[in-house]
Every structure is written in structure tokens, then in C-alpha cells.
Amino acid sequence: MSVSPASRRSFLGHAGLLSATAAVLPSTVSADEATDQRPVVVGVMGASRGAALAEVFGRLPNVEVRYVCDVDQNRVKALQESLAAKLEKPVQAIADFRRILDDPQVDALICAAPNHWHAPAGILACAAGKHAYVEKPCSYNPEEGELLVQAARKHAKCVQMGNQRRSSPTIQKAMQRLQENAIGRVYYSRSWYAATRGTIGTGTPAPVPPHIDYELWQGPAARQPFTSNRLHYNWHWVWHYGNGELGNNGIHSIDLSRWGLQVDYPIRVVSSGGRYAFSDDQQTADTHVVSFEFPDRRQIVWECLSCNRHGLDGTGFGVSFHGENGSLKLNDSGYTILDARGKEVEKQDGADGMRAHAENFVTAIRRNDPTLLNSEIEQGHKSTLLCHLGNIAHRTGEALTCDASNGRVKNSPAAMQLWSREYAEGWRPKV
């Protein structure tokens, strides 16, 4: 990835200021060290996944979590109190994330709101001069992902997706071993997720609880009535707001598969599966298999069992790579290499990379250099796009043929209708 001239000029200008600062620092402190120590201020949008992210960022040296934001007054108040106790620092609780963007001292927005908010909030953050850490998937639909990449480029901002395994030293080592031909030419990857998620039941129209700003929760999405089983997690399984298990957890393993195979956009996508476990309000598949074919004879297959924890190899999460001379298997934090006969020849364990991912984002902000990001938003978009294509193939019932240069679907009006969405008035993302 290249950085625009504007970004480079900004970085060089910042470096000039640092050189002046370094003159008054002790001689043992370099300009780079001064840069890496400068305070960074962030605001966190979303009090569910955002709770863990706020704590991770808040424990980093010289990082201030100034705001936590959620449309649910009860949730954001509880998070505010919890963080204040854990971090021993005051945190402001707000409902509207736009207050974060209005604060000139804020460096970055951490977006952990529902999926339909990820790209629109990230785009607004870039336009407001903020960097953005956007939870996975980085977009609700393919067009939003394209626009988020454009926004990062236009405003020369660091935008990172929350695929934290990209920053795990052990996972990075595994990818290095693949590139070193530890198993020969890699041509196939299996990717899976399995869990015992329960039924979401059948909801009924209901009044919006007084502590929830449902209008703001919907934000960019075209308006739908409130139902009793919509919040705070079940929206994942409703197409109007979520992306099913493929976009919820599949993105993690598919991102690793794409990284290890060193592929970008597919040429063919096929989906099978459906709602096999429960008869309830869930619209997305609870049992799902998607195949992605790429140029140069490479393939990824993803399998999901939302309601059965026994996934491939008996595990709930994993990725395997298969090559001419053996296989490499990834779990949450480590890897194992097997020879062509299945004999273990190398094994290493490690951490999942969540703290390292946050540190990487903060370092890129301090140095004003998106090229330092371990998951710069273009990479996040490419992996997220695979999830979107898998869902589009599922929803249309078509085997998709795609343009290998950008992932766009060929000769399918039905598929391209799902490339974007209808937005609430005034909320269509713009770059």
C-alpha cells in the first residue's frame, strides 16, 4: 500500500515538529522515542465489544479513553463506572458518537457498534480528521467497504480492522513459514467456526425501552419497527442490520486463510446451507459452507456450525493450509506444521494478538503512517468482501463469477442489488 503525498507531507511536517521538541529532551531520548510516547486520545463507540476494547486501549501507556458511547443509557453508564474503576481514570459516557468526532483533542474513534455502523462511522471519523479502528466486519455491504478505503486514502488516516490475529507474533511466524515454503506451494485452505448458539425466539412489536435511543441505534439503516428480540445481539441474524455468522466470526478465519494463501479477490463463489437447527426469527444461515476459488489454482472453504460446537478437527475455531509437502494448522493463537504423511514436525503457541493489535494501531497514529498497520483497511476490506460474497451467493442462490481485479460480481443483477443498500435520509455514506 502506498501513502498519498498529502499523508507523507503531514508526516514529514509532524516529524519536523518532533525534531524541535527533541532538542529540549534528554539526550537519551530520540525523536522516534518521543513520537512513540506522545499521548493519544480515543473514544469508543459501542458498549458490548467496545467494553473489552476500551480496557485494552486504556491500559496502553499514554493512551486516554476519553469517551465511551452507546445508545443504551444503562449499558454505557455501567461501562463508564467499570472503566473508571479498572483504569483509575474518569471516562465520559455519551449517547451520540458524533460528540467524539467534534472533540479536537481526540485522535481516533474505536467503532464497536453493530455492523451497519462500522463503515459509515469510520468514514465520518476520517472526514473529521480522526483515525479509526473499525471492528470486523469493516463494512455492512461491499460498497461501504470500497468507500471506507477511499475515505482512508482521501484523508490520509490510519484505519485498521479488528482482526487482531494479524498482530499475533506467533500467527505472523506461521505466515512466514508458509512463505518460506515450509509445506511447499500452498493451494488450499480450510476455515471453520463452530458454537452452540441458542434460538433467538420469535419477537413481537414492542415499545422502545426508555433508556434506549432506537432512532440513533438504527442510524444509517432504513427504518424498521422495534421488536422485543432485536437488541442487543440478535441483530446479527437479521439481514437488515447484520451479516450472519459469516460476517460475525467467519471473517476471522477467512482473513487468515486469505493471508496465508496470499490471494486477494476470488473468481468464483459458491454457497450452501441454511436454517437447519431452529425455527425462529433468524434470517441468516445457522449451518453454512462457502467455497471461494482464486486465480492460480487456489481455494478457500469455510464451514460454520452455529448450533453445534464440534467443528473440523473437533474444535470451535481453526484454519488449515494444505500444500505440496504437508499442512499447517492454526488455532486461536498458535500453529502446527505436519509433513505429507501427517507427522508433526513443528509447533508453536502464543497469544491471540488483541493487545498487540491495539499497540500497532496506536504506533501508526503516533507516526502518522498507515503503512505501519498490520491490517490496513484495504486488507480488511478484501477479507470482509469474501464474507459479503458468500452471503450474496447464499441469498441469491447463485454461483457467483467475480472479477479477479476487484471482486465485483459479473452478469448477476440480483447479486449487484445486494452490493449496496437503502439508507435512512441523510445517512448515505459519502467520500
pLDDT tens across 136-191, in order?
999 999 999 999 999 999 999 999 999 999 999 999 999 999 999 999 999 999 99
> Above pLDDT 70, what percent of the chain?
92
Cell of 230: 432485536
d(CA 332, CA 165): 8
Confidence of residue 251 (pLDDT cuts 50, 70, 90): very high
Cell of 245: 455468522
User: Tell me, what's the pLDDT at 23?
Assistant: 35
Closest CA to 121 of 88, 92, 96: 96
Handedness of CA 54, 150, 381, 379 (dihedral sign): negative
Block residue for cell numbers 438504527: 218
User: Tell me, what's the pLDDT at 8?
Assistant: 34
> pLDDT tens, 85-112?
999 999 999 999 999 999 999 999 999 9
Which DSSP letter does residue 411 get?
S
Which DSSP letter does residue 42 get?
E
d(CA 1, CA 59): 30
Write down the pTM of the prediction.
0.91
User: Strand pairing partners for 78?
Assistant: none
> pLDDT tens, 337-368?
999 999 999 999 998 899 999 999 999 999 99
d(CA 321, CA 346): 14
Contacts of 223 (CB under 8 A, 6+ apart): 424
Q: Which long-range contacts (CB under 8 A, 24 or more apart) does 169-173 make?
A: 169/350, 169/351, 169/353, 169/356, 170/333, 170/334, 170/335, 170/348, 170/349, 170/350, 170/351, 171/256, 171/330, 171/333, 171/335, 171/350, 171/353, 173/335, 173/348, 173/350
d(CA 192, CA 194): 7
Task: Kindly list the structural domains of the chain, giving each domain's residue range(s) and its CATH number in brackets, ordered by start.
Answer: 5-163+356-376 (3.40.50.720), 167-203+212-352+383-417 (3.30.360.10)
